[in-house]
């Protein structure tokens, strides 16, 4: 009997074992499904071309250009002249060999990246000779292109994502691009669009053999958006030219809209430096330059004392608080004693009597010290209250805090309040005389150029400003941001007198050089003391030259703040530069060629080298 049933029994037993095995493999274990997907499905991303950036007049600022990456499929490479190839690629022979070796370890069947971002010119040479190198081919990709070298700090740049970026946002994959700094960073989502995904079925050599499940899981590409900025390309360019060989910043704003017309930071750099193969090398060079700090946006990040332009705000506050009227006048004796033995100098002639208007156009320290003390002392002995009233008025001009504009960097600046002085001098340990430097925009005050331009715009608007911003529109009109008026705490009736004073500054005061035929310019110069630690010793450097202005006086089109570091007095550099900018913007051309030449050719490089010369030097010469 055993003999008869042996084979059927063995067959049945095997069948049971097989079915058991099938149950364990197919029904109880789900890991094989995942393994087969990993095996057989490949995900390819399709990246939309990065959006273009235009200026307010639809002039192109940033576009893309094709570059070529040299790729290689190791299994197709046959013996070749490494020396010649390395020569036409402009890489070393060793580097080339290393790249091919690592490509081989990655995969012999799949294309690997050998040399990236080959320029158009070099590409032409390579195209001609590539037939000699089987296994190598060129693959097109695209990088940023800057038709004009302009506004590098404002625009930012594009580079490959790093580990941090990928950790922060799981959208990014290795080798993808991300905007860095400026507009590229802030409006990354508009500019990059949204990549699409395509799933392919691959074979065991990782070769694509067709779409996976007829594209059921594919994600369509969402196109990138083009951006139109508020920047005026011509004005921006002119500003950068004017600040050549100088350090400083220019911020110009259209007062009615809050649109930033130009944001200049000097020294800047050529945005093309951060494109292509030399990017990381160049970036390091820029980042290591601690003297010129080309990556530091002076228009947004530099905090200076506001200097004399700040007097206009003190005048407005005094009027609003009712501590003076238009006729309130003070006698200036080349300055005045504000406390026993404490004398504040002024450049007014002996015996000058200044009211509000002349106080502004003569920039009289005595006048402003007095009205400032009236503000602080308005509540009698309670200086704290006066200090905080003053502080709140300034805050309503957007000082002492971020302005909320659409760029990733900025500084708050600083406006002291009662708590601050209570901390430093103890409660009751300070009086209005203690803090009198604030009257003339020195002391503890810190502002950034964009804050200066912004309060200038608020004055131009007679009492309100609109948050400064850089984006005008997006190509598909998806931007529906409405910027609201921000009212200052000063009633509009008080502005006219101050504006008259600012007009006089240009007409007959400290900035006659800024006068433009046919345009009523209102401005205020400033000369700011500044210090630097040299070998641990606080050393005074040549004053900063600053100027704020808006024009025309009625229906202003532009408000501007100019800082020229160590430019000595306001009328020397900042006022002419601001005036030229205004003329350029309003008239489109410059009539005062002599002034333009002086500004374009003027250089402060010698001044900047003084502190580093290691020798004693003279300032304000």
Partner 1 sequence: MNKNIIYRLDWMLILIYLILVSFGIVNVYSATFSETLEGVFDVSQAVGKQVFFLIFSLFIGMIILAINSKFFEQFATLGYFLSLLLLFGLFVFGKTVSGATSWYNIGGISLQPSELAKVTTALVIASLLSKFQSDLKTPRTLFKIGAYVLLPFLLIVLQPDPGSALVFGAFFFPLFREGLNYTYLIIFLSVLALFFITLSFHFGMVIGIIIMLIFLLYFIFKNLNPRVKIWPFLIFLIISIGFSFSVDYIFDNVFQQRHRDRINIVLGKEIDTQGVGYNINQSKIAIGSGGFKGKGFLEGTQTKGDFVPAQHTDYIFSTIGEEWGFIGSFFLIFLFCLLIFRIILQAEKQTNKFRRVYSYGTGGLIFTHFFINIGMSLGMIPTIGIPLPFISYGGSSILAFSIMVFIHLNFDANRLNDW
Chain residues that interact with partner 1, rule: CB under 8 A: 3-4, 6-8, 10-12, 14-15, 17-19, 21-23, 25-27, 29, 31-33, 35-37, 39-41, 201-204, 209-210, 212
Read off the tokens for 338.
Answer: 């504000």
Four-CA torsion 595, 600, 601, 604, nearest 10 degrees? 100
Asked if residue 260 lies in contact with residue 470, where contact means CB atoms within 8 angstroms, the answer is yes
Shortest Cβ distance from residue 7 to partner 1 (Å)? Answer: 5
Cis peptide before 267 (omega within 30 of 0): yes
- Closer by beta carbon to partner 1, 15 or else 94: 15
- Closer by beta carbon to partner 1, 17 or else 124: 17
The 3 state secondary structure assigned to 150-208 is: CCHHHHCEEEECCHHHHHHCCCCCCCCEEEECHHHHHCHHHHHCECEEEEEEECCCCCE
- Closer by beta carbon to partner 1, 31 or else 478: 31
Shortest Cβ distance from residue 203 to partner 1 (Å)? Answer: 4
Distances in Å between the Cα of 593 and the Cα atoms of 343, 567, 584, 596 are 42, 21, 12, 5
Burial of 562 (0-12, 13-18, 19+ CB in 10 A): buried
Shortest Cβ distance from residue 21 to partner 1 (Å)? Answer: 5
- Closer by beta carbon to partner 1, 75 or else 81: 75
- Closer by beta carbon to partner 1, 39 or else 382: 39
Give the residue among 402, 406, 466 at the shortest CA–CA distance from 255: 466
Give the residue among 425, 331, 424 at the shortest CA–CA distance from 369: 331
For β-strands 227-229 and 53-54, DSSP reports them as: parallel
Shortest Cβ distance from residue 34 to partner 1 (Å)? Answer: 8
- Closer by beta carbon to partner 1, 26 or else 392: 26
d(CA 506, CA 503): 6
- Closer by beta carbon to partner 1, 7 or else 482: 7
Asked if residue 375 lies in contact with residue 314, where contact means CB atoms within 8 angstroms, the answer is yes
**Start-to-end C-alpha separation, the chain:** 124
Shortest Cβ distance from residue 4 to partner 1 (Å)? Answer: 6
465: three-class secondary structure by DSSP:
strand
Residue with tokens 């703040």: 561
- Closer by beta carbon to partner 1, 3 or else 140: 3
Shortest Cβ distance from residue 113 to partner 1 (Å)? Answer: 24
Shortest Cβ distance from residue 19 to partner 1 (Å)? Answer: 6
Shortest Cβ distance from residue 64 to partner 1 (Å)? Answer: 36
Asked if residue 545 lies in contact with residue 569, where contact means CB atoms within 8 angstroms, the answer is yes
Shortest Cβ distance from residue 41 to partner 1 (Å)? Answer: 7
Asked if residue 546 lies in contact with residue 525, where contact means CB atoms within 8 angstroms, the answer is yes
Shortest Cβ distance from residue 199 to partner 1 (Å)? Answer: 11
| Phi, psi torsion values for 264, nearest 5 degrees | -110, 135
- Closer by beta carbon to partner 1, 21 or else 284: 21
- Closer by beta carbon to partner 1, 12 or else 605: 12
């Amino acid at each position: 009997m055993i003999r008869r049933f042996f084979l059927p029994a063995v067959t049945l037993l095997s069948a049971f074992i097989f079915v058991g095995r099938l149950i364990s493999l197919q029904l109880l274990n789900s890991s094989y499904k995942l393994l087969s997907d990993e095996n057989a499905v490949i995900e390819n991303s399709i990246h939309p071309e990065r959006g273009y950036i235009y200026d307010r007049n639809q002039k192109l600022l940033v576009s893309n250009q094709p570059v070529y990456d040299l790729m290689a499929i190791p299994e197709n490479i046959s013996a070749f002249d490494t020396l010649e190839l390395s020569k036409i690629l402009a890489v070393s022979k060793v580097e080339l060999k290393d790249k091919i070796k690592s490509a081989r370890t990655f995969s012999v069947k799949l294309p690997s990246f050998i040399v990236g971002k080959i320029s158009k010119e070099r590409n032409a040479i390579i195209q001609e000779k590539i037939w000699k190198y089987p296994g190598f081919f060129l693959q097109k990709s695209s990088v940023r292109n800057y038709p004009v070298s302009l506004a590098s700090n404002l625009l930012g740049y594009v580079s490959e994502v790093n580990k941090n970026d990928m950790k922060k946002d799981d959208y990014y994959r290795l080798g993808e691009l991300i905007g860095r700094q400026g507009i590229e960073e802030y409006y990354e989502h508009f500019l990059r669009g949204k990549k699409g995904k395509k799933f392919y079925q691959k074979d065991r050599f990782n070769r694509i053999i067709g779409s996976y499940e007829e594209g059921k899981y594919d994600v369509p590409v969402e196109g990138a958006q083009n951006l139109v900025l508020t920047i005026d390309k011509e004005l921006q360019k002119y500003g950068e030219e004017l600040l050549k060989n100088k350090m400083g910043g220019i911020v110009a704003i259209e007062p009615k809209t809050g649109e930033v017309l130009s944001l200049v930071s000097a020294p800047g750099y050529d945005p093309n430096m951060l494109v292509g193969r030399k990017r990381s090398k160049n970036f390091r060079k820029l980042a290591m330059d601690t003297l010129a700090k080309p990556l530091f946006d002076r228009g947004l990040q530099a905090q200076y004392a506001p200097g004399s332009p700040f007097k206009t705000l003190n005048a407005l506050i005094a009027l609003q608080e009712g501590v003076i009227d238009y006729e309130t006048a003070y006698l200036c004796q080349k300055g005045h004693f504000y406390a026993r033995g404490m004398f504040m100098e002024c450049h007014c002639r002996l015996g000058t009597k200044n009211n509000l208007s002349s106080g502004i156009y003569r920039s009289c320290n005595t006048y402003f010290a007095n009205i400032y003390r009236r503000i602080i002392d308005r509540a009698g002995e309670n200086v704290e209250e006066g200090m905080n009233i003053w502080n709140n008025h300034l805050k309503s001009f957007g000082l002492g805090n971020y302005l909320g504009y659409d760029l990733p960097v900025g500084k708050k600046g600083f406006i002291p309040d009662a708590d601050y002085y209570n901390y430093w001098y103890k409660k009751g340990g300070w009086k209005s005389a203690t803090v009198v430097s604030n009257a003339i925009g020195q002391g503890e005050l810190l502002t950034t150029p964009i804050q200066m331009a912004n309060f200038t715009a608020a004055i131009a608007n007679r009492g309100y400003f609109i948050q400064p911003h850089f984006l005008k529109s997006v190509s598909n009109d998806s931007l529906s941001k409405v910027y609201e008026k921000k009212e200052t705490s000063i009633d509009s009736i008080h502005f006219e007198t101050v504006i008259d004073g600012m007009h006089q500054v240009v007409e007959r005061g400290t900035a006659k050089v800024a006068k433009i035929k046919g345009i009523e310019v209102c401005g205020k110069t400033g000369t700011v003391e500044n210090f630097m630690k040299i070998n641990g010793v606080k050393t005074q450097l040549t004053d900063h030259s600053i100027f704020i202005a808006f024009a025309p006086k009625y229906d202003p089109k532009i408000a501007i703040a100019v800082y020229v570091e160590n430019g000595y007095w306001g009328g020397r550099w900042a006022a002419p530069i601001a005036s030229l900018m205004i003329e350029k913007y309003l008239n489109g051309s410059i009539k005062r060629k002599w002034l333009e030449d002086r500004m374009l050719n003027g250089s402060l490089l010698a001044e900047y080298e003084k502190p580093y010369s290691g020798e004693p030097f003279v300032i304000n010469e």
